[in-house]
Each structure stands twice: as structure tokens, then as C-alpha cells.
Amino acid sequence: MNSTIRNTGLLYLGQPGQNLLAMAEEKAASILGTSVSSLASHPDYMYVGLDDGEKTLGVDKAATIIQKASVCSAVADTKVIVIDNIEKMTVDAQNKLLKTLEESDVTIIGLAYEDKLLPTVKSRMIVSRIPSSKIIPADVQNIFNSVADVLNGGAPEGILKVLNMVAEKGNDSFFMSHREYVGSFIDFVGTIVITKQLGVNKDYANLLDVIYSHRERCSNPNYTKDDFFILIVNIVEQI
């Protein structure tokens, strides 16, 4: 991906029944520096979803999003707009939103329960495929959680912990048996980094290029635990 693009669109792609909204609200509260319980009244937050009886999100909803994105933030450094069931947006609505995704500095968090967005929309968002927590093995979940702690400002011992957790897997069998989670993990890391970049005066373009490169390579059988370890080292060195 071109490192000059400052992508402020986040897409959580999950499965029916998952509580993606809770994840989005936690992220929004973190970006805006407030609590989840205060989001509804926060002037720089907007939730957009299906109204009663609606089956799609039309151009009127897209226009509302664009209008919100076009005005300056009131109290925070940015604005956050959560679009629930974003996959229900009509083609016209998605196309109408493209320019805002490309040019606005507002953080748009889309929640999709089916992979049906236009490729042009997805390409302008950082995609995190959210696997069901019920099927993530405990040791994989521990690595996810530990890396999240490090990226969110964890102590040096946290960095050592996650490096040791990856390194102690003595061969590639662990990594290969959990390959299905690697892409989701790298998406997850990219989401945290791009969100972190929005809140600090630091350019993570080089790190994002590394993350995107690993995302493209991770499905290749030649991608090993050592490659994954190198990714983790790059992350902890640059954050």
C-alpha cells in the first residue's frame, strides 16, 4: 500500500451474532479520550445504523456521514463515526462515501457481518477480520492480548513477554497449525497502529508498509514462525 495514504477507515469484519459494536465503542472512546457510557452525548461521535424497518443504508445515511465529517471537531482532536451493518449500504451510498474515506481525517469505523462491501471501499479501510473468541485457542489469544498491551503503551517487560511467547514455540508446527489466525492477527495489529498514528504526532508509514507486506505474504506456505517473529520485532522497535 502507498505509504503516503493516511487511511482513517477501520473495518471490523465479523460474523452474525458477534458484538462488533462493543469493540467499536471501546475503540471510539479510546480515540476521543472519553468513556463508552459518554459516547452517545459526545459531540464528536456519531452512530449510524439501520432504523426500524430498514433493510439497507441509503444515500441519505451517506449524506449524514459526509456532513458530520465535513465540520470541525468540537472538543476532541478528531471525530469518530461508527457505521453498523456497513455491508447493508447500497452501491450508490458506498460510492458517495468514497471521497470522505479518501480525504477526511475523521475516523470511520465500519462494522460488517458479511464480506459484501465494494472492493473500492474496502481498499480505503484497514480491515480486521474478527474471529469468534470461542474458537481462538488460549495460547493464540494470549499472544493477541500481549501484543495489544505492547502497542497500547505496555511496559518493557510486556515486550519481552510477547517475544518470548513467540520464540518459545520451538518449531513451525505451532505456527502452521494456527495459520488461519495469522491474517486476522496482522489485520488486528494494523488497526491498532493506524489508530495510534491518529492520536500522536508520529508517522508510522514505514511500519504500516511492513505490516501490509506481511499481510500479503502470510498465506504463503513459505511464511514461517521466524517471519512472524521479525514482524513482532519491527513493531516493538518502532512503537
Model pLDDT for residues 131-190, shown as the tens digit of each residue: 654 444 555 556 666 666 655 555 545 555 555 555 555 455 656 666 666 666 677 677
Evaluate if residue 96 carries a pLDDT over 50.
yes
Rounded to two decimals, the pTM is: 0.59
The residue ranking higher by pLDDT, 125 or 65, is 65
Give the C-alpha separation, 134 to 213, whole Å.
Answer: 29
Q: What pLDDT score was predicted for residue 6?
A: 43
**Domains of the chain: which residue ranges?**
9-130, 134-238
Give the C-alpha separation, 95 to 81, whole Å.
Answer: 17
Please tell me the least confidently modeled range out of 13-17, 26-30, 87-91, 127-131: 127-131
Evaluate if residue 117 carries a pLDDT over 80.
yes
Which candidate, 109, 231, 108, 104, places its Cα nearest to that of 175?
Answer: 231
Mean pLDDT rounded to a whole number for the chain? 77
What proportion of the chain, given as a percentage, has pLDDT over 70? 63
Return the H-helix or E-strand segment holding 190.
Answer: helix 179-199
**CB 107: neighbour CB atoms within 10 A?**
23
Strand partners, 127: 11
User: Residue 174's Cα: distance from chain center in Å?
Assistant: 25
Q: Characterise 229 by phi-psi region: left (phi > 0), alpha (psi -120 to 50), beta (else).
A: alpha
The second-level CATH assignment, the architecture, of 9-130 is 3-Layer(aba) Sandwich (3.40)
pLDDT in tens, 25-79: 888 888 898 998 999 999 999 999 999 999 999 999 999 999 999 999 999 988 9
Please tell me the least confidently modeled range out of 15-29, 60-74, 97-111, 208-222: 208-222
